[in-house]
Amino acid sequence: MINVGIVGGTGYTGSELLRLLVRHPHAAVDVVTSRGEVGKPVAESFAHLRGHLDLVFSAADTPALRNCDLVFFATPNGTAMHDAPALLREGVRVIDLAADFRLDDVAVWEHWYGVRHASPELVADAVYGLPEINRERIRGARLVANPGCYPTAVTLGLLPLVEAGVIALSPVIADVKSGVSGAGRKANAGLLMAEVGESFKAYSVAGHRHQPEICANLRRATGQAVDLTFVPHLVPMVRGIEATLYAPLRDRDAQLQALFEQRYAGEPFVDVVAASVALETRSVRGTNNCRLSVQRPLDGDIVVVQSVIDNLVKGAAGQAVQNMNLMFGFDERAGLDAVAMAP
Amino acid sequence: MINVGIVGGTGYTGSELLRLLVRHPHAAVDVVTSRGEVGKPVAESFAHLRGHLDLVFSAADTPALRNCDLVFFATPNGTAMHDAPALLREGVRVIDLAADFRLDDVAVWEHWYGVRHASPELVADAVYGLPEINRERIRGARLVANPGCYPTAVTLGLLPLVEAGVIALSPVIADVKSGVSGAGRKANAGLLMAEVGESFKAYSVAGHRHQPEICANLRRATGQAVDLTFVPHLVPMVRGIEATLYAPLRDRDAQLQALFEQRYAGEPFVDVVAASVALETRSVRGTNNCRLSVQRPLDGDIVVVQSVIDNLVKGAAGQAVQNMNLMFGFDERAGLDAVAMAP
Amino acid sequence: MINVGIVGGTGYTGSELLRLLVRHPHAAVDVVTSRGEVGKPVAESFAHLRGHLDLVFSAADTPALRNCDLVFFATPNGTAMHDAPALLREGVRVIDLAADFRLDDVAVWEHWYGVRHASPELVADAVYGLPEINRERIRGARLVANPGCYPTAVTLGLLPLVEAGVIALSPVIADVKSGVSGAGRKANAGLLMAEVGESFKAYSVAGHRHQPEICANLRRATGQAVDLTFVPHLVPMVRGIEATLYAPLRDRDAQLQALFEQRYAGEPFVDVVAASVALETRSVRGTNNCRLSVQRPLDGDIVVVQSVIDNLVKGAAGQAVQNMNLMFGFDERAGLDAVAMAP
Amino acid sequence: MINVGIVGGTGYTGSELLRLLVRHPHAAVDVVTSRGEVGKPVAESFAHLRGHLDLVFSAADTPALRNCDLVFFATPNGTAMHDAPALLREGVRVIDLAADFRLDDVAVWEHWYGVRHASPELVADAVYGLPEINRERIRGARLVANPGCYPTAVTLGLLPLVEAGVIALSPVIADVKSGVSGAGRKANAGLLMAEVGESFKAYSVAGHRHQPEICANLRRATGQAVDLTFVPHLVPMVRGIEATLYAPLRDRDAQLQALFEQRYAGEPFVDVVAASVALETRSVRGTNNCRLSVQRPLDGDIVVVQSVIDNLVKGAAGQAVQNMNLMFGFDERAGLDAVAMAP
């Protein structure tokens, strides 16, 4: 049994970590911090945790974090880079669910995130926490950069194609759609239900931070530079990401279904389905699964991959727990065996 | 004032026609037919029409249709091709909101729709009712094939690029998303709110009937054969279509914004917005507008066009009224001046 | 043609006023103010108004308001009581869509709204703008207090019963449900779609400001003091209010349907439907209608009234326009003839 | 480990039983029947079960049911009364999730369900499966009538008040609201998302079958006849029931909060919260909990109880599993320890 802490437990990734960890067989949540709600019972902020968790929020600088085996940063971008180093020095392992350590090129990071990186020396140390490409390094990591939600869905969908060299690397299109919980739990008039309900839109078409993250993933895993166009959209639902990925087929004889099935044969959380199955986001809701399908519309030369995840689970908190399981030698599936909630 | 009839008035395109026509300054609805609800007041089936319409449903073969100046077929595919010819022979003009006359190649039509065409001789006569490419021919038409909802959004988005020759014609990607009213008002367990609410999915990835329709439109308007990959998705909302379109830029000096603005300068229902404007489907809800934006993500070589319409208005009934206005010499905007309903 | 101004045009009641007024045959919007967005085109904040309105937001204290025939306050509670007096002194007529002048008892108002009333001397002058009980006084009013959304739905539902004396006055229950736009357009984490989507709850059960407003309405109209329990609920949709009202029947021979039909026989915006009709909020969406039905479940001694309105139209901006029409001698229906948008 | 069967596994109560049972520590699902999908893998119909269940649908009359320790009927009303007797004779225990055995008065049942009861002799034998009032009888039951969703929420909310005699028994009002999954998974145009999305309505106001069930529950548990007015409503969401209950307080000194807390002190699935807590349906989504609060608005004489459940769990499948746990001597909580999914 390990003791874990959560820094910034008042957002959705924090509450989802709690939802998963209160059922985890090998981890106990010892401390949850919040800047604004110190002393308040966590279950008052998150009624769904009532009866499952007896903690109150601690201050962000509580020394209790130093006694944890692992601390999750469920904070906005730019927090962990300041606060993680001290914990790491104490021997506490860290998983950052934000973006601070996701890009190994600090200059690129600073360009996209608009601030100076506070701990550039840690960036090389950090392990990108996508187990499907980095499992062994995650096992030994002190600091894991938990992937973004979109990059998880898109990287897993493109990976088999790029690795196998069956597609041309340009142009590759990722048209992705997310439920509104992906935008977090902050007071923002643009995310009111009266603003985003019963409507659909693209956003950040000119450029989104997850584009370089995906490209870095694919380069890291395959050595290839993919020319990716990435357009995110907002869906009037709470949870779920669907990515529809398009790439020009180079090898017309490629056995795409087999390629995907083989690539992910041993993966506990990647499920390749037949092209005939409709891939609904709700089929993975509340679970750590990524479901993929691959096909060639009208038997043409464009490969289309569909990828669905729950943005708060495989796209955030569930993947963080999967990484924790790897880092501490637990069964990779521990605490992550929920059945999706449908309808 | 003309007298119009609606065949098949119990679906969403029929009820939307009624919603628009009861306010139209130059058209009066004389007859609405229904196979299943003969004798029932229309406003009992459609409570929103209560107080605006005093008709009862007539039988599908009512002779009253022959006294109309214009009959709209708001029927399933495969109905108008049987029933329109008799009306046309009586001098009644016809607008078919289904697909029977949308493809000029009868063999292609029969392939996609899976039945023999009952009136192939009429196909050449029919005018495809997208005013932005066919305005003059619509004015003189006896039989108008009202465009599909997806083809309207996609064709208008790609047209300026193809006409001007600024993109390569392959690969062109149309990733389109529709609210559930696009699937019609039929008892279908797959469209229950408990099935499609809080979820998102692609469908018909292997091939969808609107793909050949869009290709035919572009070929008709520009003489060019576009290699189009078209993937539709279902959004958990009632109304609205968003299309995100991707094409390789050929001419890096193209002034895309100006190109779109000039192409649609005189169009009453196409509105080109600045790239900085978020294109939400609700900004056109209930209206006959198509809103477009164009940009190059990360200043790269892929052009991204966004196109939003209300699938029941510009994507169906509103465009049919626009066509009626043209056919009868009314102001093209007559009856179509609503302000979008937001929030 | 009159010139009107809107103070506080960045919320939902303001944008809905604009949606209605840009189509009004006898009123032109001359000025729209905003504290935060001075100089910005209104149609940038409200994309659905693009093409319909060419104004920019003015400062809240713009002298242009003094040249208006009528100024609407679409502001938070507590604004009009400060700013309306100066306009009234200049001869400008005022309709306040907030609560400042709705309760004639200033002490009760101050209790519920928690501040001192800034213009208690104007309260007696103000006319409560529910045309169905106050039409003649509204025609001559300088200052109209536009009713709350819940009070509109509940008052119209209970009025015939109380006036006719067919129910006991205690206990009367109003279980009301509203879409989220009723909570306004302010940055509030509690109204994020991720918080209120796919969920349902009661709120303010201990007491809500609209309870005394409803009781005052019924007392004003009938001289009777109703012992009302009022519980509001939040529905995961954007627009619409449904009120289910329960009262003990006193007169078992009362002809309830006839009573309601007669009470509202001449009313342009109240529609009494048969008990067999399902009263959906969407059947009045976008319109100024209130639809009512009345029945006795299991033929028992409890009368159940259903009342549906669009909270932004008959519950706010539409009723304000109806009041404007009365104040200026226009057709009461002018600008309010939309057909509901369904689906 | 017991072997269980499910008759009628293609609806929502069936799929929800499967969702719960595949994780149950003491029960294994051996057989799932379906009239329409014999031979089809269950996980093809229910994608969320993929990877958790390897069964195919069996025919409704499969002899395999006779080898089960327990069979759940997740069928429409009127099925179990025909098919359960044969199983019971074989010693198989039965839980009917439909209404066939819920009312002990056969004449009343026949009145409300409109058919002759096929097994009236079994009605007296059947135990109404609401553990909070019938725990001991359920332990020994051969045949359990699993309660309706609304009756569960309403009965648990009213029970402490009626038992303690602190309210007058007339008029008692239950204004209840349900997500659309409560209506089942049948092709019904009235439940399309395009029909029920973005709208709210009451239904069955004249009388609903759950009214006599609730009255029977309260009479059974307390000996009192409650004069109940019950009005159900449809909420545009998938899961969840909220009941707002109103009753006249008789004993003004009653300690309502304490009364509720004491009544449910030992109950594993009833959670009484402070009046200040907003009771959202999502706070119990996916769980077997019923959450209750009680208060007196404006300190008046009407008691208001709020009750929230997940209609598919405590309102159907979860309660059935709770009953199974009792019947077979398992921990009552076994398989029912999920944390609610929010957001």
Q: Is residue B215 annotated as a catalytic residue, yes or no?
A: no
Considering only CB atoms, which chain B residues are within 8 Å of D12?
194
Cβ of A189 and C194 within 8 Å? no
- CA dist A201 and B282 (Å) reads 9
What is the full DSSP assignment across B27-53? Answer: EEEEEEE-SS-TTSBHHHH-GGGTTT-
Query: Which residues in C have their CB inside 8 Å of a CB on B?
Result: 12, 15, 19, 22-23, 44, 46-52, 181, 185, 197-198, 238-239, 271, 273, 277-278, 280, 282-286, 289, 312, 337-343
CATH code of the domain in which B118 resides:
3.40.50.720
Question: Does residue D108 fall inside a structural domain?
Answer: yes
Q: Tell me the helix, strand and coil percentages in chain B, rounded to 5.
A: 35, 20, 40
Query: Which residues in A have their CB inside 8 Å of a CB on D?
Result: 12, 15, 19, 22-23, 44, 46-52, 181, 185, 197-198, 238-239, 271, 273, 277-278, 280, 282-286, 289, 312, 337-343
Tally: H helices and E strands in chain B: 11, 14
pLDDT tens string B250-284: 999 999 999 999 999 999 999 999 999 989 999 99
Q: Give yes or no: residues B154 and B293 share one domain.
A: yes
Residues of chain C scoring pLDDT < 50: none
Helix A12-21 and helix A318-327: axis angle, to 10°? 50
Phi/psi of residue B63, nearest 5 degrees: -65, -15
Preceding peptide of A171 cis, ω within 30°:
yes
CA B216 centroid distance within chain: 15
Write out the two tokens for A40.
């308040």
- CA dist B335 and D339 (Å) reads 53
Residue A298 falls in which region: left (phi positive, over 0), alpha (psi -120 to 50) or beta: left
CATH code of the domain in which B233 resides:
3.30.360.10
Residues of A belonging to the active site: 149
- The two beta strands, A241-248 and A172-179, are antiparallel
C-alpha torsion sign, points A280, A281, A286, A292: positive
Q: Give yes or no: residues D182 and D94 share one domain.
A: no
What's the pLDDT score for residue A211? 98
Question: Does residue A168 fall inside a structural domain?
Answer: yes
State the residue for tokens 């995840």.
Answer: A309
Question: Does residue C60 fall inside a structural domain?
Answer: yes
Q: Give yes or no: residues C156 and C303 share one domain.
A: yes
Q: Give yes or no: residues D171 and D62 share one domain.
A: no
**Helices marked H in C299-342:** 318-327
Chain pair B-C, CB pairs under 8 angstroms = 84
Cβ of A283 and D47 within 8 Å? yes
Task: Say if CB B304 and CB B244 are below 8 A apart.
Answer: yes
**Residues B224/B225/B226/B227 CA torsion (nearest 10 deg):** -160
Write out the two tokens for B217.
């439109």
Average pLDDT over residues B219-232: 97
Q: What is the DSSP letter of B101?
A: T
- The two beta strands, D241-248 and D302-309, are antiparallel
Q: Give yes or no: residues A93 and A159 share one domain.
A: no
Write the residue in B198, B201, B297 that is nearest to A205 by C-beta.
Answer: B297
**Model confidence at A9, in pLDDT bands (50, 70, 90)?**
confident
SS3 A259: helix
**Residues C184/C188/C189/C193 CA torsion (nearest 10 deg):** 20
Write out the two tokens for B161.
């690029």
Q: Give yes or no: residues B161 and B199 share one domain.
A: yes
Write the residue in B180, B189, B193 that is nearest to D236 by C-beta.
Answer: B193
Chain pair A-B, CB pairs under 8 angstroms = 157
Residue type, A47: A
**Model confidence at B30, in pLDDT bands (50, 70, 90)?**
very high
What is the full DSSP assignment across D184-251? Answer: -SS--GGGBHHHHTT--EE--TT--THHHHHHHHHHHHHS----EEEEEEEESSSS-EEEEEEEEBS-
- CA dist C230 and C138 (Å) reads 27
Percent of chain A having pLDDT more than 70?
Answer: 100
- Flag whether pLDDT at B323 surpasses 90: yes
Query: Which residues in D have their CB inside 8 Å of a CB on B?
Result: 12, 179-181, 183, 185-189, 191-198, 236-238
ipTM: 0.97
Cross-strand partners of B58:
B33
Cross-strand partners of B64:
none
Cross-strand partners of D172:
D228
Among A336, A291, A309, CA closest to A240: A309
Q: Give yes or no: residues D104 and D168 share one domain.
A: no
Chain B contact partners (≥3 CB pairs within 8 A):
A, C, D
What's the pLDDT score for residue D9? 87
Q: Give yes or no: residues B221 and B180 share one domain.
A: yes
pTM above 0.95, yes or no: yes
* Angstrom distances, CA of residue B178 to CA of B241, B242, B316, C37: 4, 7, 13, 33
Residue type, A145: A
* Angstrom distances, CA of residue A152 to CA of A128, A211, A217, C9, C126: 11, 12, 9, 42, 60
Query: Which residues in D have their CB inside 8 Å of a CB on A?
Result: 12, 15, 19, 22-23, 44, 46-52, 181, 185, 197-198, 238-239, 271, 273, 277-278, 280, 282-286, 289, 312, 337-343
**Helices marked H in chain A:** 12-21, 42-45, 80-89, 106-113, 120-123, 131-139, 149-164, 193-196, 210-222, 256-263, 318-327
Q: How many residues does chain C have?
A: 343
Domain end position, chosen among B110, B125, B140: B125
Q: Give yes or no: residues D29 and D119 share one domain.
A: yes
Among C129, C111, C109, CA closest to C119: C109
Q: Give yes or no: residues B103 and B202 share one domain.
A: no
Question: Does residue D317 fall inside a structural domain?
Answer: no
Q: What is the DSSP letter of C267?
A: -
Task: Say if CB B285 and CB B341 are below 8 A apart.
Answer: yes
**Model confidence at B285, in pLDDT bands (50, 70, 90)?**
very high
- Burial-class residue A72 by CB neighbours within 10 Å (0-12, 13-18, 19+): buried
Average pLDDT over residues B318-330: 98
Write out the two tokens for A156.
């897993």
**Model confidence at B9, in pLDDT bands (50, 70, 90)?**
confident
Q: Give yes or no: residues C260 and C176 share one domain.
A: yes
Among B54, B62, B69, CA closest to B35: B62
Considering only CB atoms, which chain B residues are within 8 Å of A111?
none
Considering only CB atoms, which chain B residues are within 8 Å of D11?
none
- CA dist B17 and A337 (Å) reads 50
Residue type, C283: S
Query: Which residues in C have their CB inside 8 Å of a CB on A?
Result: 12, 179-181, 183, 185-189, 191-198, 236-238
Furthest-apart CA pair in chain D: how many Å?
A: 62
Among A99, A104, A85, CA closest to A143: A85
Q: Identify each DSSP E strand in C55-157 by its residue range.
A: 57-58, 70-73, 93-96, 127-128, 143-145
Chain A nearest C-alpha distance from B245 (Å): 10
Task: Say if CB D306 and CB D255 are below 8 A apart.
Answer: no
Write out the two tokens for C209.
């400001």
State the residue for tokens 């009025």.
Answer: C159
Percent of chain A having pLDDT more than 90?
Answer: 99
Average pLDDT over residues B35-63: 94
pLDDT by position in tens, chain D (length 343)? 999 999 998 999 999 999 999 999 999 999 999 999 999 999 999 999 999 999 999 999 999 999 999 999 999 999 999 999 999 999 999 999 999 999 999 999 999 999 999 999 999 999 999 999 999 999 999 999 999 999 999 999 999 999 999 999 999 999 999 999 999 999 999 999 999 999 999 999 999 999 999 999 999 999 999 999 999 999 999 999 999 999 999 999 999 999 999 999 999 999 999 999 989 999 999 999 999 999 999 999 999 999 999 999 999 999 999 999 999 999 999 999 999 999 9
Question: Does residue B228 fall inside a structural domain?
Answer: yes
Report the run of H or E that residue A290 belongs to, with start and end: strand A290-295
Domain that holds residue D14: 2-125
- CA dist A303 and A246 (Å) reads 6
Cβ of B187 and D183 within 8 Å? no
D55-63: long-range contacts (C-beta < 8 A, 24 or more apart)? D55/D29, D55/D30, D55/D31, D57/D9, D57/D10, D57/D32, D57/D33, D58/D31, D58/D32, D58/D33, D58/D34, D59/D33, D60/D7, D60/D8, D60/D33, D60/D34, D60/D35, D62/D31, D62/D33
Preceding peptide of B160 cis, ω within 30°:
no
Question: Does residue D266 fall inside a structural domain?
Answer: yes
Question: Does residue A322 fall inside a structural domain?
Answer: no
- CA dist D95 and D101 (Å) reads 10
Furthest-apart CA pair in chain B: how many Å?
A: 62
What's the domain count of chain B? Answer: 2
Question: Does residue D334 fall inside a structural domain?
Answer: no
Q: What is the DSSP letter of D4?
A: E
Task: Say if CB A50 and CB A81 are below 8 A apart.
Answer: no
Task: Say if CB C306 and CB D205 are below 8 A apart.
Answer: yes
Compute the half-sphere exposure of residue D180: CA atoms within 13 Å on the CB side of its CA: 33
Q: Give yes or no: residues A20 and A85 share one domain.
A: yes
Report the run of H or E that residue B106 belongs to, with start and end: helix B106-113
- CA dist D41 and D55 (Å) reads 6
- CA dist D161 and D303 (Å) reads 9
